[in-house]
């Protein structure tokens, strides 16, 4: 033999000696389902997948019809899950239902089942597999139809998670309790001091800011800080007098109304969106003035008469009279040494008088200026006002005399300060009012007050102080309205400077403890809003509920089956296992036939994965036809060792 052939033979023998040879299978005891940690974990994971969809469905049921803006943080997860559902849910079905079908096939194989049925099960672990198995086997059984129906819930359930969730705008009605300023607040005690020490700064800022506002703001329904103004009912067409209880509508142009104050009523808790309607009970001071011209130097017919009246008819000169750089105001509470009851206790109290004068720019002589003089009767209008708001944009829509029987006499005004009975409130109020013009004005010259009385558009115009016509030229009616507006504005600024600056607060909790005597009233508002509402589609919800029920049932069935399966897991179709298998009583041959043809021919043969005796007293686990049907394989015996 040639040397080269000897070398090949030697290498072949060396290679053969290193080939692995399985001499004996290792012995193994069967494990029950409860002793397989991986199976338990996978079944738990299957159940959790179903729970995720259950949570999604439950969230939709619980929050159906609710405003999306008010939903819990979980809404973000729900919204994202709805978009991912068409992808995620079919994957969940494939995992859960696919495992359950295979587990059921193993359980039936353990107990003995027809090959056709087992092939149908093991070929139906996906939607596509179910359909192709029916086509390949040329047999459509009830089990195949049931599996096809169940698998159809996979894409339908995915679409349902997306289409079941609806976000649609809907009209929603609710109520809200709104606190608001009561203008019957007593004169604030923090201003009852000998020196204001800067306390007047925010008050005067509100007052002068209102005077200097544009005509659009002054004539609008809101002040510069968004507080709603109260119309002067007496100046509206259709007003029938204080005895009438009829509503007086402001019409489509509430901005054309005359307002009782340049500052509105602070209201808290107004919704920032939606349509709100409510009514307020409030009041304002009105004036009826006899306005005329006079002179500054005549104590009988001129401005000096006001000083004399104040001195003659009042116990305290400071209580009734206050002189300003531009003139003076005297308000006579009651005559000196009067035997009448106190004003706040007298049901028949007479109307308070207010005397006014200011020096005009015109001269009556070379040494004397003319003056505008007014004798005014004061009263209070108690009104109920309807307010309509779109978000924070509010406007009065109607007003009528208040129907409350608890209102004080109309002749009582805020100058009486009946809330706390402080009789010197008028003096301190006028002293505070003096700070508006006490700096930067020449004594005896008109001021921003007179500018407003003559022409509100020029209230803060510096040259108008020197060029405006006399105040008495505007007439008594217009003078009465404008002076009442000024005093009402300043009173509102005095009793609520902090609240007016807040704008649109949720509540008045941010007010400092220095406003402890502010009176707050409440009203109930009806709020109509178009909100983005969470809804679910009933049809798709039914599909989703059925899908999650099937998924949950499949997860539970998979766990129950896995706990009962004792045989090892298989990965092949049963018809394939019959090829060359001595444990099947089938004829020899047929190797050239396809698995599909073999499966159809063997469809009624019952097989089992069980035990068979391989030697005397020695058993092994094999797949073959069932012993009770003339085959070789019996069911496994608990506790037996196989090897």
SS3 198: coil
DSSP H/E element including 615: strand 606-615
Among 105-109, 407-411, 590-594, 628-632, which range has the highest average pLDDT?
407-411
Position 561 confidence tier, pLDDT thresholds 50, 70, 90: confident
Half-sphere exposure of 372 (CA within 13 A, CB side): 27
pLDDT at residue 13 tops 70 = no
pLDDT at residue 38 tops 70 = yes
**With b meaning 16 or more CB within 10 Å and e meaning fewer, what string describes 536-573?**
beeebbebbbebbebbbebbebbbebbbebbbeeeeeb
* DSSP state at residue 344: G
Tokens 């008045």 -> residue:
508
Positive or negative: CA dihedral 400, 403, 404, 409: positive
- Residues near 65 by beta carbon (within 8 Å), at least 6 away in sequence: 170, 533, 534, 535
Task: Report which of 581, 624, 587, 593 is spatially closest to residue 606, judged by C-alpha positions.
Answer: 624
* Tokens encoding 478: 């217009």
- The dihedral over CA atoms of 487, 220, 244, 486, expressed in degrees to the nearest 10, equals 10
Residue 304, Cβ neighbours under 10 Å: how many? Answer: 18
d(CA 306, CA 290): 14
Determine phi and psi for 388, rounding to 5 degrees.
-125, 130
341, 317 contact by CB (below 8 A): no
Among 201-210, 302-311, 366-375, 562-571, which range has the highest average pLDDT?
201-210
Higher-pLDDT residue of 405, 303: 405
SS3 554: helix
* Tokens encoding 336: 């000196």
Position 285 confidence tier, pLDDT thresholds 50, 70, 90: very high
447, 441 contact by CB (below 8 A): yes
Q: What is the pTM of this model?
A: 0.67
Give the bridge partners for 323, in sequence order: 328
Q: What percent of the chain has pLDDT over 70?
A: 85
> Secondary structure of 309-334 in the HEC alphabet?
HHHHHCCCHHHHEEECCCEEEEEECC
268 CA to centre of own chain: 17
612, 590 contact by CB (below 8 A): no
Comparing 203-217, 243-257, 269-283, which segment has the lowest mean pLDDT?
243-257
Q: Most distant CA pair in the chain: distance in Å?
A: 162
- Residues near 143 by beta carbon (within 8 Å), at least 6 away in sequence: 117, 120, 121
| Per-position DSSP letters for 212-245, written without gaps between them | TS-HHHHTSSB-TTSPBP-B-GGGSTT---TT--
* DSSP state at residue 67: B
* Interval 407-452: pLDDT, tens: 989 999 998 878 666 677 888 899 899 999 876 555 667 899 999 9
* Tokens encoding 349: 């109290």
* Interval 485-534: pLDDT, tens: 999 999 999 999 989 998 888 888 877 766 557 888 999 999 998 888 88
167, 534 contact by CB (below 8 A): yes
- Residues near 623 by beta carbon (within 8 Å), at least 6 away in sequence: 109, 574, 577, 581, 583, 607, 608, 609, 633
101, 121 contact by CB (below 8 A): yes
pLDDT at residue 8 tops 60 = no
Among 98-102, 467-471, 584-588, which range has the highest average pLDDT?
467-471
Comparing 281-295, 319-333, 391-405, 434-448, which segment has the lowest mean pLDDT?
434-448
Half-sphere exposure of 54 (CA within 13 A, CB side): 11
d(CA 419, CA 495): 12
Determine phi and psi for 590, rounding to 5 degrees.
75, 10
pLDDT at residue 299 tops 90 = no
């Amino acid at each position: 033999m040639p040397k080269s052939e000897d070398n090949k033979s030697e290498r072949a023998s060396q290679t053969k000696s290193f080939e692995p040879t399985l001499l004996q299978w290792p012995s193994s005891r069967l494990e029950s389902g409860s002793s397989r940690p991986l199976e338990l974990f996978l079944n738990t994971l299957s159940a959790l997948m179903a729970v995720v969809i259950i949570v999604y469905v439950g969230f939709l049921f619980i929050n159906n019809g609710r405003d999306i803006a008010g939903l819990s943080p979980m809404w973000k997860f729900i919204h994202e899950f709805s978009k991912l559902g068409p992808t995620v849910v079919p994957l969940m079905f494939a995992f859960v239902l696919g495992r359950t079908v295979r587990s059921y096939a193993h359980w039936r194989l353990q107990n003995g089942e027809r090959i056709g049925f087992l092939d149908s099960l093991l070929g139906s672990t996906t939607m596509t597999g179910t359909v192709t198995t029916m086509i390949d086997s040329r047999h459509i059984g009830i089990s195949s139809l049931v599996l096809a129906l169940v698998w159809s819930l996979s894409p339908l359930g995915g679409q349902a998670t997306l289409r079941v969730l609806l976000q649609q705008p809907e009209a929603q009605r609710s109520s809200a309790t709104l606190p608001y300023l009561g203008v019957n607040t007593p004169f604030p005690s923090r201003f009852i001091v000998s020196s204001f020490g800067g306390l007047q700064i925010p008050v005067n800022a509100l007052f002068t800011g209102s005077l200097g506002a544009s005509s659009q703001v002054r004539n609008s329904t809101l002040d510069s800080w968004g507080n709603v103004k109260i119309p002067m009912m007496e100046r509206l067409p259709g007003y029938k007098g204080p005895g009438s209880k009829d509503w007086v509508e402001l019409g489509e142009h509430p901005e054309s109304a005359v307002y009782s104050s340049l500052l509105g009523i602070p209201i808290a808790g107004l919704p920032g969106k939606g349509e709100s309607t409510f009514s307020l009970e409030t009041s304002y001071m009105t004036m009826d003035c006899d306005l005329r011209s006079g002179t500054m130097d005549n104590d009988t017919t001129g401005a000096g008469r006001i000083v004399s009246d104040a001195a003659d008819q009042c116990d305290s000169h400071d209580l009734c009279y206050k002189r300003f750089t531009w003139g003076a105001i005297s308000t006579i509470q009651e005559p000196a040494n009067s035997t009448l009851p106190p004003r706040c206790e007298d049901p028949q109290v007479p109307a308070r008088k207010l005397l006014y004068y200011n020096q005009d720019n015109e001269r009556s002589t070379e040494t004397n200026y003319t003056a505008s003089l007014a004798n005014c009767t004061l009263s209070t209008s108690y009104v109920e006002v309807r307010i309509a708001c779109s978000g924070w944009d509010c406007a009065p829509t109607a007003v009528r005399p208040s129907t409350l029987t608890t209102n004080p006499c109309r002749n009582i005004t805020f100058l009486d300060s009946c809330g706390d009975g402080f009789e010197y409130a008028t003096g301190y109020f006028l002293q505070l009012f003096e700070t508006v013009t006490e700096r930067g004005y020449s004594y005896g010259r008109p001021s921003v007050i007179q500018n407003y009385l003559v022409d509100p558009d020029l209230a803060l115009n510096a040259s108008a102080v020197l060029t405006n016509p006399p105040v008495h030229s505007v007439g008594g009616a217009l003078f009465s309205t404008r002076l009442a507006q000024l005093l009402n504005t300043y009173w509102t600024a005095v009793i609520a400077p902090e609240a007016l600056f807040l704008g649109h607060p949720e509540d008045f909790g941010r007010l400092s403890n220095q406003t402890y005597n502010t009176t707050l009233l409440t009203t109930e508002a009806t709020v109509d809003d178009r909100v983005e509402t969470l809804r679910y589609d009933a049809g798709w919800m039914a599909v989703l509920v059925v899908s999650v029920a099937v998924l949950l049932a499949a997860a539970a069935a998979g766990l129950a089956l896995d706990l009962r399966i004792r045989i090892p897991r298989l990965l092949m179709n049963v018809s394939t296992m019959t090829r060359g298998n001595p444990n099947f009583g089938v004829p020899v041959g047929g190797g050239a036939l396809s698995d599909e043809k073999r499966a159809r021919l063997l469809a009624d043969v019952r097989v089992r994965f069980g035990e068979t005796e391989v030697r005397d007293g020695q058993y092994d686990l094999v797949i073959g036809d069932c012993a009770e049907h003339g085959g070789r394989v019996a069911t496994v015996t608990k506790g037996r060792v196989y090897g």
